[in-house]
């Protein structure tokens, strides 16, 4: 398996480089080659999930929603079976599906994935986490597209309320000495 693993790693690294360079057609070809190698090792291997995620991402960037959607659904099922329904990766993949269907204009199909993602991410990350706030905003946008204006307003208001009450760190503390080095600070005075 080590030679095969090395071949897969080469495909992966090359595909990731192509994605960074915006060469999505080349990345697609490389992820498909990586997937072909990974499929030979059964459903419970990291090469398979990584290849599928990479391929879905490339399809997303190219606007090939009809190819990305079944891959993301497959990944969601795999994560639910392997990790459980309340795992953060289930929340992330369901959010990816929600965004995919939303951008594709398939609003009715997007909604259950927004709901699943919101449920999982709120439970795992907490209701004030930036990912949850972004999710609320995107779900509210979807509700507007479905002419559910009042629900959308309520979600937008909730997201804004959470944003307004969130504590912000400045990052300036990084420039200050740590408590362990407080002697140094007092000796410099």
The reported pLDDT for the residue numbered 185 is 42
Each residue of 125-165: pLDDT tens digit?
988 888 999 999 999 999 999 999 999 999 888 888 776 65
Judged by DSSP in three states, 30 sits in helix
Q: Residue 135 in contact with residue 121, Cβ under 8 Å? A: yes
Domain count across the chain: 2
DSSP secondary structure string for all residues of 84-138: -TTSHHHHHHHHHHHHHHHHHT-HHHHHHHHHHHHHHHHHHH-TTSHHHHHHHHH
Residues 151 and 91 in one domain: yes
Which pTM value belongs to this model? 0.80
Residues 68 and 156 in one domain: yes
Residue 186 lies in a domain: no
* Per-residue exposure over 154-183, b if at least 16 CB sit within 10 Å of its own CB, e if not: ebbeebeebeeeeeeeeeeeeeeeeeeeee
Each residue of 101-120: pLDDT tens digit?
999 999 999 999 999 999 99
Q: Report the C-alpha gap between 4 and 10 in whole angstroms.
A: 10
Residues 14 and 54 in one domain: yes
Each residue of 63-84: pLDDT tens digit?
999 999 999 999 999 999 999 9
Residue 158 lies in a domain: yes
Q: Report the C-alpha gap between 110 and 107 in whole angstroms.
A: 5
**Which structural domain range is residue 26 located in?**
1-62
Tokens of 103: 């951008």
Residues 78 and 160 in one domain: yes
* Per-residue exposure over 11-45, b if at least 16 CB sit within 10 Å of its own CB, e if not: bbebbbebbeeeebebbbbbbebbbebbeeeeeee
Residue 12 lies in a domain: yes
Residue 180 lies in a domain: no
């Amino acid at each position: 398996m080590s030679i095969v693993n090395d071949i897969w790693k080469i495909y992966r690294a090359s595909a990731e480089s192509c994605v960074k360079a915006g060469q999505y057609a080349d990345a697609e070809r490389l992820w498909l080659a990586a997937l072909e190698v990974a499929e030979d090792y059964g459903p419970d291997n990291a090469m398979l999930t990584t290849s599928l995620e990479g391929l879905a991402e490339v399809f997303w960037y190219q606007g090939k929603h009809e190819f990305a959607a079944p891959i993301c659904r497959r990944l969601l099922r795999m994560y639910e079976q392997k990790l459980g329904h309340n795992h953060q990766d289930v929340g992330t993949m369901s959010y990816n599906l929600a965004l995919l269907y939303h951008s594709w204009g398939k609003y009715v199909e997007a909604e259950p994935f927004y709901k699943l993602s919101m449920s999982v991410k709120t439970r795992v990350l907490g209701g004030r986490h930036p990912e949850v706030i972004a999710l609320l905003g995107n779900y509210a946008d979807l509700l507007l597209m479905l002419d559910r204006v009042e629900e959308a307003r309520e979600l937008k208001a909730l997201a804004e309320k959470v944003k307004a009450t969130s504590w912000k760190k400045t990052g300036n503390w990084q420039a200050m000495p740590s408590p362990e080095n407080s002697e140094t600070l007092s000796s410099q005075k």
